Amino acid sequence: MLNKNLTTENIKWLVEEYQPKMGYGVNSKNINMFNDALNLMKGTNNPCPGCSCQYLTIAKIAASLFEQYKEEINKLYAESQTHKVVQKRTKRR
């Protein structure tokens, strides 16, 4: 189940930052991105793995969860973008 406590900023980060890069190779420089995505989607706070042998596993789990919840994440993202447009229009008046 997707974490129900995701904020608008979390959803935006998953779609705009994580999704385009989730197919990249995983290494010590970007493992935090995969671990952060995994923690956001699961609602956990697991530390980043210390051993490089675990990097690929973390990246695959994060990518798998994103694919599993992609429709729901994109729906939440679209709703957050629509809400911003409505707020901007309301502020102009």
- Largest CA-CA distance found in the chain, in angstroms, rounded: 56
- Please give the pLDDT value at position 88: 55
Q: Which SS3 state, helix, strand or coil, does residue 56 take?
A: helix
Q: How many domains does the chain have?
A: 1
Full residue range of the structural domain in which residue 54 is found: 8-92
Give residue 16's identity as a one-letter amino acid code. E
In a domain, residue 1? The reply is no
CB hemisphere CA count around 20 (13 angstroms)? 4
- Please give the pLDDT value at position 35: 97
Closest residue by Cα to residue 34 from 45, 21, 43, 53: 21
Q: pLDDT digit of tens for each residue in the chain (93 aa)?
A: 899 999 999 999 999 999 999 988 899 999 999 999 999 999 999 999 989 999 999 999 999 999 999 999 999 999 988 866 445 555 555
In a domain, residue 35? The reply is yes
